[in-house]
Chains A and B, each alone.
Chain A
Amino acid sequence: MDGGVGLLQRQLVDYRASLFNEGILNEQFNQLQSLQDESNPDFVVEVVSLFFEDSVRLLNELAKSLDQRNVDFKKVDAHVHQLKGSSSSIGAQRVQNACIAFRSCCEEKNVEGCLKCLQQVTKEYYLVKNKLEILLKLEQQILAAGGSIPVQSEVI
């Protein structure tokens, strides 16, 4: 059993490292994890799921806004800004970067660019969602197996 946990732990570490290396996550996620302790055992899961909900809502709003004839760029910009804020808070770096590009498109009032950026953001969002879900699942497996989640030693 111990070996299984160890394997899982190593897998988790590797996986997390890969996420960092690919730039999907950044150190903010570590900060997030460091905030998780006995008083808030499911803090990361909570925040991440909050992020998912919020992002889905925002993405829908964005799609709706951009679908209209006269695009309200102010609104779009506000949404993107929110998405950027929340993604940067959990450390979803690529979503954040996509959001930055999105905002610059928005400032130019470039509808096509915005649509492209929306696609990009959506793509990145689903990517990070999948990855995070796997990560969290792994962590839960480890916890279920009675192991402890290894602290991140390698950051960059």
Chain B
Amino acid sequence: MGLPVGTVLYRIFRSCKSCGRSRAAEGTKRFQGDVLQEEFQFASSYCLSSYYSVFVVRVAIMALLAILIGMLTILTWHITKVYTAKSLNSLAYGLRYELLQRPLLRMWSLLNSTVEITTAQVKLSEYVIRRYTSQPITRAQQVELYDVMRDVTWALFASHKALNAITVNYKNGFVQAFHRDHRSNGTFYIYSDLVNYSISNSYEMNTISSHQRWNDQSVQGNLSAIWYRVPLDPVSGEKIGKRQTIPPDDLINIAGPSQVPDGVASWHVAVSKFTDSPFLSAALPVWDRSNTSIVAVVGATTALFSVGQLMKELVEFHRGHIYLTSQEGYLLMTSTNAPLLRNSTAGPKLVMAVESEDNVIREGAQWLQRAYPNKFPPSHEVHVENARLGNKRCYIDSFFLNLKRLPMVGVIIIPREYLMGKVDERALKTLIILISASVCILFIGCVCILILTNGVSKEMKLRAELISQLEARRRAEASSNYKSQFLANMSHELRTPMAAVIGLLDILLCDDCLTNEQYGTVTQIRKCSTALLRLLNNILDLSKVESGKLVLEEAEFDLGRELEGLMDMFSAQCINHNLETILDLSDDMPKLVRGDSSRVVQIFANLISNSIKFTTSGHIVLRGWCNKSNVHSGMGRTLHNQKECTSANAPKSKEQAAIANITRRKDNKMAFWFEVDDTGCGIDPSKWESVFESFEQADPSTSRTHGGTGLGLCIVRTLVNKMGGDIKVIKKNGPGTLIQLHLLLSPSMKGDAEQQRQHSLTQFSHNSLVVILALSGSVGRSILSQWLYEKGVSTWQVADWNELIHILDPLFQVRSSFEKDTIDDHQSASELLSKKASRVGIGISVFIVVVDVVLLDLTTSIWKEQLKCLGKYCGRAKFAWILNHNTSNSVKMELRRNGHLLMMNRPLYKTKVVQILEAAIKEKDNLEEQKVGASPSAGVHQHECIEINSFHYDGESSDDSDGAERCRFEKKKRNRTRKPTISQFTVVNNLAKFTEEYLQNNQHDTRAAKCSSSHDRGVSTETELACKNSRCGEEYETGSCPEERNDMYLSQGKGQRSLEGLRILLAEDTPVLQRVAAIMLEKMGAIVIVVGDGLQAVNALNFCKNAEVSRAASPLISEIASHPQISDASSFDLVLMDCQMPKMDGYEATKVIRKAELGTGSHIPIVALTAHAMSSDEAKCLEVGMDAYLTKPIDCKLMVSTILSLTRRMSQFSFATASMKS
């Protein structure tokens, strides 16, 4: 048990040590800040308590184990040892008893036989003597008697071999004795000389006084008689030797009358000097006939030697020592060879047991004497199991043999080793084995427990750590979530003041009383505010995404058009840099896709503005292609591929194919690939990943030189990831950055538009067009050229004015000479040129020259000459001019005067080229028509000016306008909250157009009619509108600068009641808001009907409908209507619906209204009014069927624009239907 205690102690010691260590660690950590401290203390105290508990559990388990094993050991040992010992002991007892009993029994039988012989001798002697003494004894008779006696005695003696001697001592002193000498193995007859005995006398005398005389005579006789010894044949009893004289009493002990003093049998142990063992001699008197006197004494002597022999045999077999003593302690027999007699001066004497020469016997006797000094237990029986003799442990047993004359004590000494030696040894071994085994088990058990509890404690520790970490993480997440949520919730609070600032600045800007300087300052403030708002929006967007509130919309939009609009906007921005912005979308991209257009636009807006920020000169290319098939038919792609030398391309296309495969499997989504390629300062390759992190800029110093927060790319990546795409910076040859991304968008099912475009494109190749691209930007030019070439349109590329002239000159010479059937060789500028010219010259129909206005030398007045120079080609070629945004009005006027009516703003992308081509083809057709019809309005046609609007308000033909319009509107709606800059521009832009149209519808009707009269009716409305625009554009510049337009709108909107004639139902419960909104709307010229809750709103609408129906039946009934305003209203144009109202809230009301509309096919626009500004609310509003969404407090402008956009669509719709009818 020492080992477990040791381990426990060790454990305690160790725990103390670890405690100290942890405390020390605590001490060091204390310096590391207060925040950690608390947590750590918590953790450490937890740890400590758990440690203690673990420790206690360990100790308890170990103690239990120890007790268990101990008990088992003891029990086992006890059972094995004690039972064995007990049974062995009883066995041993039996053995010892038996061992001792046998010599005793022998002794007893020896005694008995001696006594029997003696008795038999006595009886025989009595018989013989009585026969001879019945008559007076004569000498002869006497001799005869003695002879008979001798024969009788011999017979007895011979029959009992064990007898040592048999003696007959007659009254008269005559002695007859037979003796066996064991040493010489001879048998002798010993007798005394008869001469000295007077038989008669003595006999007679003896009869009178027996006792005295007997004694005297015997003494006398003994002294005086001569003893003879005759050796006999031991079998036959014949004399075999001569008689020898021997000294009396010398040889054997002759029992005389002295030994039978009282006439009864006596026993005693005798010694003789001839034998080394004592004798047992018995003596019996022979009485005469009258039984009054003793006539002879018969003695028999038996050697105890045989008993000793038996003892020896026993001991030889069983080991140990046996001895017999007389009661006084004289040794009678031993199992050893130690002498029993001691020669003293007085002859041999018996040895006391305590003085025996044998060590064991001596020690045993001494031990017994010590243990029982005086009083032997009754009957002398002693059983001692554990007597220590010398250095041995022995069993000592003594038995008492109670003979009347000769009490004897038998003692047996058996070494314990003999009986129990093996058992003791085994017991010891078992004990040792048991203890060692138990110790081992205990040790192993302790180790196991240690390991086990170690694991448990480790697990507990880990678990505690895990719990605390989970807690910490939960807290951190919660706090981060709170932050994001807070920011998201703050959106309204943050945006409202900014919107107010901007709005007020707008108001200020339209004030006439501002001086120029003030105007400039305010404009600057406005710009700054817009920038600040954009920044705010960025941050809020980010937080919205982080808080998981950003929900991507799923609406159909024209991806190409959105991107074109974006490029238009940015090209206006980067006009000051010497920068070329190019849009290169491959033709295989589906026109209409489903997705969140505003977010897509935001992605590219951020990327492009980023590129613009870091690019001072060169170009920015936005490439787009689609992974429908692995063959990139986009011309930009092929160009790019050539440039990249296919090194990086192979894995890339593989990757793209993989993505495409994945995406194709997913619900019909396609991967759209885009690249934004600029020639700016570039990004260090090590920063390619980190630029997409929040607040991260490639070079920290750039924020000083370029500004920006570094949020843009982060938002981009978040959005791209959200759309299931990926964005990364890619290695690029040459300076600049190449960012590649792909988005997963589902293409719209409507493939009509695309087909149409394809159709129109194929049409060009039929018409065998020739296009001369006189553009300053080389990249854009080559891209366009490539594309046109693929479409089957021949192109020339021209970089500057002189080149243009050089090409134009020979070309038209060729052409004219071709017409005249003469060929001028020297005029062809180059072989290629001439080849091309000859190729295209045949069947050539249309020449289109696209001229960049910057090719003109605008710094001096040479440009006018240049224009005139071009004038001579005017009839033969169609000129299209690419204007800068800041191209001055005089240039435009001049161009127009020179008959260059096809003008468009930078940048030139495919849609615009297609428009140019279409216009050219149309013109050609017209010309042909005119040639055929010789129409008188040809002159008017010459003056038609086509300016393709940079915002290409109605890019497509009118049959598509409805869808496009919705698209546009939806975008606007979203833009309103998210991207005020763009949205305001577009909204305002649209608004301007709405108002224009209104104006023109009302005022310039005649002009429009005049204008359009010259066209055939097939010309789409957009050309009409463009025409109108351009007319109006003489008063104010159209579409070049958004800000201008904005101002224009404001100046226009101020004096005008833009909502004139609209009937609006306002459902609002708060009286204050009711009043404010009503007044606002009324000021704009709308007719407002106010109701207090959703139920009333629904009722009012129903009533209107009924009224309408009833009026249709009979106009008179309508007069019954209670509300004068309602009564004369056919129906409402729009509903402004507060979301939270008593009785029936806005959502409910909208649902009811939409439900009611289901069958009728009508759709009344409903605009939500809500104090919430989250997109989730917006989503909810749109979900229940509202069309738009306004936040409180109401922003007047926003409200007007929203209302207009909604009602305008409706009116357009109704207008369209009306015109259809007419």
B-binding residues in A (CB < 8 A)? 26-28, 30-32, 35, 37, 39-40, 43, 46-47, 50-51, 53-54, 78, 81-82, 84-91, 155
A86 touches B1072 (CB 8 A): yes
User: If A78-B1140, A89-B1076 touch, does A53 touch B1196 (CB 8 Å cutoff)?
Assistant: no
Q: Is B270 on the interface with A (CB-CB < 8 A)?
A: no
A89 touches B1072 (CB 8 A): yes
A53 touches B504 (CB 8 A): no
Instruction: Write 8 A-B pairs (CB below 8 A) sorted by A numbering.
Output: A31-B1193, A53-B1071, A78-B1142, A81-B1171, A89-B1072, A89-B1194, A90-B1076, A91-B1193
- Per a CB cutoff under 8 Å, which of A32, A39, A84 touches B1076? A32
- Per a CB cutoff under 8 Å, which of B1072, B1192, B1196 touches A51? B1072
- Per a CB cutoff under 8 Å, which of B1082, B1083, B1138, B1192 touches A88? B1192
User: In whole angstroms, what is the CA distance A155 to B1069 when docked?
Assistant: 30
B500 touches A27 (CB 8 A): yes
| Chain B interface size range | 20 to 34
Residues of chain A with a CB closer than 8 A to B1192's CB: 85, 88-89
A82 touches B1069 (CB 8 A): yes
User: In whole angstroms, what is the CA distance A46 to B1078 when docked?
Assistant: 13
- Per a CB cutoff under 8 Å, which of A27, A28, A35, A85 touches B1079? A35
Sample of 16 further A-B pairs with CB below 8 A, known A47-B1075, A86-B1072: A28-B500, A28-B1193, A35-B1076, A35-B1079, A43-B1079, A47-B1072, A50-B1075, A54-B1070, A81-B1171, A85-B1192, A86-B1070, A88-B1192, A89-B1070, A89-B1073, A89-B1076, A90-B1076
Residues of chain A with a CB closer than 8 A to B1075's CB: 43, 46-47, 50
* Least CB separation from B1068: chain A residue: A85
User: If A31-B1196, A85-B1192 touch, does A90 touch B1072 (CB 8 Å cutoff)?
Assistant: yes
Q: Is B63 on the interface with A (CB-CB < 8 A)?
A: no
User: If A43-B1079, A88-B1192 touch, does A27 touch B1072 (CB 8 Å cutoff)?
Assistant: no
Tell me the smallest distance from the CB of B497 to a CB of chain A, in Å: 8
User: If A28-B1193, A32-B1076, A78-B1140 touch, does A85 touch B1070 (CB 8 Å cutoff)?
Assistant: yes
Residues of chain B with a CB closer than 8 A to A82's CB: 1069-1070, 1140
* Least CB separation from A48: chain B residue: B1072
Residues of chain A with a CB closer than 8 A to B1138's CB: 85
User: If A37-B1083, A43-B1079, A89-B1193 touch, does A54 touch B1171 (CB 8 Å cutoff)?
Assistant: no
* Least CB separation from B1195: chain A residue: A31
* Least CB separation from A99: chain B residue: B1171
Tell me the smallest distance from the CB of B80 to a CB of chain A, in Å: 78
User: If A28-B1193, A31-B1196, A78-B1140 touch, does A85 touch B1073 (CB 8 Å cutoff)?
Assistant: yes
Q: Is B447 on the interface with A (CB-CB < 8 A)?
A: no
Tell me the smallest distance from the CB of B1084 to a CB of chain A, in Å: 10
User: If A27-B500, A35-B1083, A81-B1171 touch, does A88 touch B1071 (CB 8 Å cutoff)?
Assistant: no
Chain B 1113-1166 interface residues, beta-carbon cutoff 8 Å to A: 1138, 1140, 1142
Interface centre among B1079, B1080, B1082, B1196 (most CB of A within 10 A): B1079
* Least CB separation from A90: chain B residue: B1072
User: In whole angstroms, what is the CA distance A89 to B1077 when docked?
Assistant: 9
* Least CB separation from B1077: chain A residue: A89
Tell me the smallest distance from the CB of A62 to a CB of chain B, in Å: 15
Residues of chain B with a CB closer than 8 A to A78's CB: 1140, 1142
Residues of chain A with a CB closer than 8 A to B1076's CB: 32, 35, 47, 89-90
User: If A46-B1075, A47-B1072 touch, does A88 touch B1171 (CB 8 Å cutoff)?
Assistant: yes
Residues of chain B with a CB closer than 8 A to A39's CB: 1082
Give me the 3 closest cross-chain CB pairs, A-B, nearest first: A86-B1072, A86-B1070, A51-B1072
Residues of chain B with a CB closer than 8 A to A40's CB: 1079
User: In whole angstroms, what is the CA distance A155 to B501 when docked?
Assistant: 10
* Least CB separation from A54: chain B residue: B1071
User: In whole angstroms, what is the CA distance A46 to B1071 when docked?
Assistant: 10
User: If A35-B1079, A50-B1071 touch, does A81 touch B1140 (CB 8 Å cutoff)?
Assistant: yes
B1083 touches A54 (CB 8 A): no
B contact patch SS: helix
User: In whole angstroms, what is the CA distance A84 to B1071 when docked?
Assistant: 12
Tell me the smallest distance from the CB of A58 to a CB of chain B, in Å: 9
Contact string against A for B residues 323-348, beta-carbon threshold 8 Å, 1 for contact and 0 otherwise: 00000000000000000000000000
Tell me the smallest distance from the CB of A102 to a CB of chain B, in Å: 13
Chain B 1186-1202 interface residues, beta-carbon cutoff 8 Å to A: 1192-1194, 1196
Residues of chain A with a CB closer than 8 A to B1140's CB: 78, 81-82, 85
- Per a CB cutoff under 8 Å, which of B504, B1069, B1082, B1194 touches A27? B504
User: In whole angstroms, what is the CA distance A40 to B1073 when docked?
Assistant: 16
Tell me the smallest distance from the CB of A29 to a CB of chain B, in Å: 10
A85 touches B1171 (CB 8 A): yes
A155 touches B1171 (CB 8 A): no
Interface centre among A32, A78, A86 (most CB of B within 10 A): A86
Tell me the smallest distance from the CB of B1199 to a CB of chain A, in Å: 11
* Least CB separation from A92: chain B residue: B1072
* Least CB separation from A155: chain B residue: B504
User: In whole angstroms, what is the CA distance A82 to B1139 when docked?
Assistant: 11
Chain B 702-716 interface residues, beta-carbon cutoff 8 Å to A: none
Tell me the smallest distance from the CB of B383 to a CB of chain A, in Å: 97
Contact string against A for B residues 501-543, beta-carbon threshold 8 Å, 1 for contact and 0 otherwise: 0001000000000000000000000000000000000000000
User: In whole angstroms, what is the CA distance A112 to B211 when docked?
Assistant: 146
Residues of chain A with a CB closer than 8 A to B1069's CB: 82
Tell me the smallest distance from the CB of A69 to a CB of chain B, in Å: 24
Tell me the smallest distance from the CB of B1196 to a CB of chain A, in Å: 7
Residues of chain A with a CB closer than 8 A to B1079's CB: 35, 40, 43, 47
User: In whole angstroms, what is the CA distance A88 to B1077 when docked?
Assistant: 12
Residues of chain B with a CB closer than 8 A to A89's CB: 1070, 1072-1073, 1076, 1192-1194
User: In whole angstroms, what is the CA distance A32 to B1076 when docked?
Assistant: 7
Residues of chain B with a CB closer than 8 A to A26's CB: 500
* Least CB separation from A153: chain B residue: B508
Residues of chain A with a CB closer than 8 A to B500's CB: 26-28
Residues of chain B with a CB closer than 8 A to A53's CB: 1071
User: In whole angstroms, what is the CA distance A43 to B1140 when docked?
Assistant: 25
User: In whole angstroms, what is the CA distance A35 to B1140 when docked?
Assistant: 25
Tell me the smallest distance from the CB of A90 to a CB of chain B, in Å: 6
Residues of chain A with a CB closer than 8 A to B1171's CB: 81, 84-85, 88
User: In whole angstroms, what is the CA distance A85 to B1075 when docked?
Assistant: 12
Tell me the smallest distance from the CB of A11 to a CB of chain B, in Å: 24
* Least CB separation from B1196: chain A residue: A31
Tell me the smallest distance from the CB of A28 to a CB of chain B, in Å: 5
Contact string against A for B residues 1177-1220, beta-carbon threshold 8 Å, 1 for contact and 0 otherwise: 00000000000000011101000000000000000000000000
Residues of chain B with a CB closer than 8 A to A51's CB: 1071-1072
User: In whole angstroms, what is the CA distance A39 to B1079 when docked?
Assistant: 10
* Least CB separation from A40: chain B residue: B1079
* Least CB separation from B1140: chain A residue: A81
User: In whole angstroms, what is the CA distance A85 to B1138 when docked?
Assistant: 10
Tell me the smallest distance from the CB of B902 to a CB of chain A, in Å: 45
User: In whole angstroms, what is the CA distance A26 to B1192 when docked?
Assistant: 14
User: In whole angstroms, what is the CA distance A98 to B880 when docked?
Assistant: 62
Residues of chain A with a CB closer than 8 A to B1196's CB: 31
Interface centre among B1072, B1082, B1171 (most CB of A within 10 A): B1072
Contact string against A for B residues 196-223, beta-carbon threshold 8 Å, 1 for contact and 0 otherwise: 0000000000000000000000000000
Residues of chain A with a CB closer than 8 A to B1194's CB: 89
Residues of chain B with a CB closer than 8 A to A84's CB: 1171
User: In whole angstroms, what is the CA distance A29 to B534 when docked?
Assistant: 26
Tell me the smallest distance from the CB of A111 to a CB of chain B, in Å: 22
Tell me the smallest distance from the CB of B1074 to a CB of chain A, in Å: 8
Residues of chain B with a CB closer than 8 A to A91's CB: 1193
User: If A27-B500, A32-B1076 touch, does A86 touch B1071 (CB 8 Å cutoff)?
Assistant: yes
User: In whole angstroms, what is the CA distance A46 to B1072 when docked?
Assistant: 9
User: In whole angstroms, what is the CA distance A43 to B1171 when docked?
Assistant: 23
- Per a CB cutoff under 8 Å, which of A31, A37, A50, A155 touches B1072? A50
